[in-house]
């Protein structure tokens, strides 16, 4: 079954409805750290992640113009990964992400402003073990726009948990990236079918522009 036929089948069976944009969005920039964009890093993931970083530059600028809250996540572990649980055993490449490693820093192209929140996490979802849900709720956010990597890992987990915390989830497809196109496309399809709306970057930019 082709992707188009499968999408039609999902809709006929009551999946892939649209949640749409709400009234109070926030931008979550998930794990766009240098480990995924630096040649030689075990986590280096070209061309998907570097392309997604570049596509996210106008997204971030539009969010700032619209005075939309921007929250970043990064990943950092204690030496030896003793706070990483089973995750670092399953993905030992994560052990390079320590607080003193330059690879754990957010990419220069999307560097946070001094008043933008950066939250350190240990696991895939931006919500698991962090205060992001409480922070968003306190700001009366109803919509989260997710940019970041990887599509099949931390982006997907954040989309699922975002929906489960009651937020509308929007994923601009150009602004998320993965190590390989297969997992990337499969997880975009699954997010769009069950957890949020996968949209074009242009659609999100138009929405944010209407708020500026």
Per-residue pLDDT of the chain (212 residues; tens, 9 = 90+): 566 778 888 888 898 899 999 999 999 999 999 999 999 999 999 999 999 999 999 999 999 999 999 999 999 999 999 999 999 999 999 999 998 999 999 999 999 999 999 999 999 999 999 999 999 999 999 999 999 999 999 999 999 999 999 999 999 999 999 999 999 999 999 999 999 999 999 999 999 999 87
- Give the C-alpha distances (Å, rounded to integers) separating 84 from 45, 106, 122, 124, 159: 22, 20, 6, 11, 21
Q: C-alpha angle 71/40/95, rounded to 5°?
A: 60
**62 within some domain:** yes
**4 within some domain:** no
The pLDDT, as a whole number, for residue 11 is 87
The pLDDT, as a whole number, for residue 66 is 97
**1 within some domain:** no
Structure tokens that stand for 180 in this block = 């390989």
**137 within some domain:** yes
The pLDDT, as a whole number, for residue 182 is 97
**17 within some domain:** no
Tell me the pTM: 0.95
The pLDDT, as a whole number, for residue 96 is 93
**2 within some domain:** no
**84 within some domain:** yes
The pLDDT, as a whole number, for residue 6 is 82
The pLDDT, as a whole number, for residue 25 is 98
Buried b (16+ CB within 10 A) or exposed e, 145-183: bbbbbbbbbbbbbbbbbbbeeebbbbbbbbbbbbbeeeb
| Residue 105: domain span | 22-209
The pLDDT, as a whole number, for residue 185 is 97
The pLDDT, as a whole number, for residue 2 is 66
**CATH code at 155?**
3.40.50.850
Domain count, the chain: 1
CA-wise closest residue to 32 among 89, 101, 106, 92: 106
149 given a catalytic annotation: no
**86 within some domain:** yes
Distance CA 99, CA 81 (A): 11
Catalytic residue among 154, 169, 170, 191: 154
The pLDDT, as a whole number, for residue 8 is 85
């Amino acid at each position: 079954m082709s992707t188009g036929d499968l999408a039609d089948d999902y809709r006929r069976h009551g999946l892939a409805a649209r949640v749409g944009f709400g009234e109070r969005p926030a931008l979550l920039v998930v794990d766009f750290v240098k480990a995924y964009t630096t040649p030689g890093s075990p986590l280096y993931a070209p061309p998907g992640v570097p392309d997604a970083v570049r596509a996210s530059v106008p997204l971030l600028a539009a969010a700032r113009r619209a005075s939309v809250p921007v929250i970043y996540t990064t990943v950092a572990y204690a030496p030896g990964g003793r706070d990483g649980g089973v995750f670092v055993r399953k993905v030992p490449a994560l052990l390079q992400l320590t607080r003193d490693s330059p690879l754990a820093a957010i990419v220069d192209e999307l560097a946070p402003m001094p008043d933008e929140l950066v939250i350190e996490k240990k696991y895939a979802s931006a919500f698991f073990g962090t205060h992001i849900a409480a922070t968003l709720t306190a700001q009366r956010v109803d919509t989260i726009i997710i940019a970041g990597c990887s599509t099949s890992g931390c982006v997907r987990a954040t989309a699922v948990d975002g929906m489960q915390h009651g937020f509308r989830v929007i994923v601009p497809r150009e602004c998320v990236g993965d190590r390989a196109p297969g997992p990337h496309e499969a997880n975009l399809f699954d997010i769009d079918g069950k957890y949020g709306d996968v949209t074009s970057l242009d659609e999100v930019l138009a929405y944010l522009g209407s708020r500026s």
